[in-house]
Chains A and B, each alone.
Chain A
Amino acid sequence: MSDNIVIRVKILNKIGLHARPAARFSETCRKFKSKIIVKKNGQQANGKSLLDILKLNVVQGDEIEIEIIGEDAEPAKNSILEVINKINNGEIQ
């Protein structure tokens, strides 16, 4: 039974989805079996790939769409929202 969840989040921290925030984000995605696709302005990246995410160049104020496909999509969504929250409030910098 495969789920398909789409979330939209705004990135609020100063350096955006780069450096350690991007590393923590991709490491979080790697914990799940689901396929995780991050989209920005028509471009897309594998959420588990730090280099792919860097390529998207997500900066402060950007809105991204995250599509999660797979049987553990629900827990993946929760973990991703948690890590985005930590990035946005500066806990991960």
Chain B
Amino acid sequence: MLQLKGTVISPGISLGKAFILKEDNKASERTKYTIEDFYSAKNVVKNFISTLMSSLEVQGAVRDILDVQLSILDDPELESQIKKLLDNGVELINAIHTAFDYYVNALANTSEYLRERVIDIRGVEDLLIRALRNNLVISISMSNEDIILIAKELDPIRTIMIITMQNIKGVILEQGGVTSHTAILLRSKGIPAIFNVRGIFDTVKNNDYIILDAYRNIIYVNPDNKIISKYSNIINVINNINEEILKEIVREGLDINYPIRIMANVNNIADLELALHYNANGIGLLRTEFLFFNRSYPPSEDEQFNVYRQYFSRFEPKTIIIRLLDIGGEKIPPYLRIPNERNPQLGLRGVRLLLRNARDILISQIRAIVRAAREVKNSIVILIPMVSFVNEVLEVKKILNDVINDVIGDNGSLITRIKLGAMVETPSAVLQSDVLAEHVDLLSIGTNDLTQYILAVDRESNTVNDMYSQFSPAVLRAIDIVVKNAKKVKKDIEIDVCGELASEPLAVPLLIGLEVDAISVEPPNLPIIYYVLKRLNINEARELSYKALNLSNSDEVIELMKSFFINKNIKVPQVVGEFV
């Protein structure tokens, strides 16, 4: 038995067999395929394309292409040709090539337009062959066993492919950025994941038995029976708890007795639908980055308008807090030119980037949001990312006012529905939160970046990332300062918390105690957060947060919260080990 650890990306526990994704191992040993393999590959590709289409990043022309590709997959002539070839003894992969060649050749002789479309048709062929040949897709989709996927790194496209497969229960990466889109996707799907696990490739083989405990940051490789049975019990308890929570929500509804709103973080249509299903009080953080990635030019104002309107109207009439493009730290789209910096985390990112290098994008995004807001009844808050100077808020505010005047003139009712908010993610924003409050309607505390800047710890660093914890008393004090400072100058200002801390059941009592107005939660975590809140009264929450503010480190805060949950018999997976 071997024990490994890394960086927890997405909390949870899963058990399963290791499936190692090796880049150069595409060709499968299987050569004899049947028509059933074709159907199974077809389904995999259909799921893949549908999932791609539901994500925010796919819009406009790309979306149209995917739409047509989806239709090609169900083409009856194509299928009957492939069947005929198979019946005549042709091997499946050759049959697929032959059938596609036939159409591609026929189309190449027609018009210029169709010659250009050939690449889309070849794209379907390529995906089908890959689905057949690729060990990952075909063996996972045909296996009934629970699988823990192990890879060096995962790009977002592959991640999307993976999250469509029901039997992938967990993901372990040897590398991988904590703040990457891959991480965001896994979290938003609730798939447990640990990244930066050094040496996992050298030690783990296919079909090794893996326990991925992403609550405690432990990976067991081929554990003994004692540990397996302990974890089987834990999983049972967790499943029971989750079932109980869901039953309770169905039975009693989602109302809670606190003056706090539970909103949802939304990255794509799937998140949006889940948030609606759980009756979230609005979208507390609508991320827009996906709309700007994987393309060589930025989305047009019209394209953005259509997407935003779709999202807003689906959640009508609830509040939507939409964040302006927040780029920095990781992959930069090619059309945004940013010089290499010695320390990008302290460089041109967030609103700094928008104001200095991408003003045209900033204006088109604000215009698209205002135009979309005009079509719906939601209250819309435009959220400015990575604010570190008061001036940044004033500059964006001026642009917003100009846009409102230009787009709608002085339509009073609309102007009151469009509000401005600032992210509080930097120490300067915390310390000047009273000044910021004078200029905005809402402050949203983003705990992921705030923790990194308050503690001066780079989450991605292999040497210090164990020091990073959002439970740090320093982070809690920062939240406390923001609430007290801002409410002092503006009583009705709304203060929200987004970021991982707000999705963490152990932390939610602290946020209640610190008297924030709303939290924005990853959609799969909504039920458990409701469950915790229902068992909590405001006085004990205040008492807990007061205690936590005066502790010396994050471990002590976590211990405080665990013993509180155990004493009150609030069963959440995070403390379930103690119940077993």
Interface set of A (CB-CB < 8 Å, partner B): 15, 18-20, 22-23, 26-27, 30, 46, 48-52, 54-55, 57, 59
Contact = CB atoms under 8 A, between A and B. Distances in A.
A59 B72 contact: no
Contacts of A26: 71, 75
Given A18-B113, A27-B71, A48-B76, A55 B64 contact: no
B297 interface: no
A27 B70 CA distance: 11
B86 interface: no
B542 interface: no
B117 interface: yes
Most chain A beta-carbon contacts within 10 A, residue among B70, B72, B75: B75
A26 B114 CA distance: 17
Contacts of A22: 68
Interface string B91-118: 0000000000001001100110110010
Given A23-B70, A54-B117, 11 more contacts: A19-B68, A23-B68, A30-B74, A46-B77, A48-B76, A49-B77, A54-B107, A55-B103, A57-B110, A57-B111, A57-B114
A19 B64 contact: yes
A15 B114 CA distance: 11
A55 B71 contact: no
Contacts of A50: 68, 71-72, 75
B454 interface: no
Q: 3 tightest A-B contacts by CB?
A: A49-B77, A23-B71, A57-B110
B106 A55 contact: yes
A70 to B, nearest CB: 14
A30 B114 CA distance: 23
B75 A59 contact: no
Contacts of B72: 50-51
B78 interface: yes
Interface residues of B, number: 20
A51 B113 contact: no
A16 to B, nearest CB: 8
B67 interface: yes
A54 B78 CA distance: 13
B71 A46 contact: no
Contacts of B64: 19-20
18 contacts: A15-B113, A18-B114, A19-B68, A20-B64, A20-B67, A20-B68, A23-B71, A27-B71, A30-B76, A48-B76, A49-B75, A49-B76, A50-B71, A51-B78, A51-B121, A54-B103, A55-B103, A57-B110
Main secondary structure of the interface of B (DSSP, over half): helix
Contacts of A49: 75-78
Nearest to A29: B76
Nearest to A25: B71
A54 B74 CA distance: 15
Contacts of A30: 74, 76
Interface in B62-94: 64, 67-68, 70-72, 74-78
B531 to A, nearest CB: 43
Contact of A55 (B68, B74, B107, B113): B107
A22 B77 CA distance: 15
B106 A23 contact: no
Nearest to A59: B111
Given A27-B71, A50-B71, A57-B110, A18 B76 contact: no
Nearest to B106: A55
B16 to A, nearest CB: 38
Contact of B117 (A19, A46, A48, A52): A19
Interface in B116-171: 117, 121
Contacts of B75: 26, 48-52
A26 B419 CA distance: 46
Contacts of A46: 76-77
A18 B117 contact: yes
Nearest to A45: B77
A46 B75 CA distance: 10
Interface string B42-78: 0000000000000000000000100110111011111
Most chain B beta-carbon contacts within 10 A, residue among A23, A27, A48, A54: A54
Nearest to B64: A20
B459 to A, nearest CB: 43
Contact of B114 (A20, A23, A27, A54): A54
B178 to A, nearest CB: 39
B116 to A, nearest CB: 10
A46 B491 CA distance: 68
A23 B75 CA distance: 10
Most chain A beta-carbon contacts within 10 A, residue among B64, B76, B103: B76
A51 B124 CA distance: 12
A90 to B, nearest CB: 14
A87 to B, nearest CB: 14
A32 to B, nearest CB: 12
Most chain A beta-carbon contacts within 10 A, residue among B70, B107, B113: B113
Contacts of B76: 30, 46, 48-49
A52 B78 CA distance: 9
Nearest to B74: A30
A51 B117 contact: no
A14 to B, nearest CB: 11
A51 B104 CA distance: 9
Contacts of B68: 19-20, 22-23, 50
Most chain B beta-carbon contacts within 10 A, residue among A20, A51, A52: A51
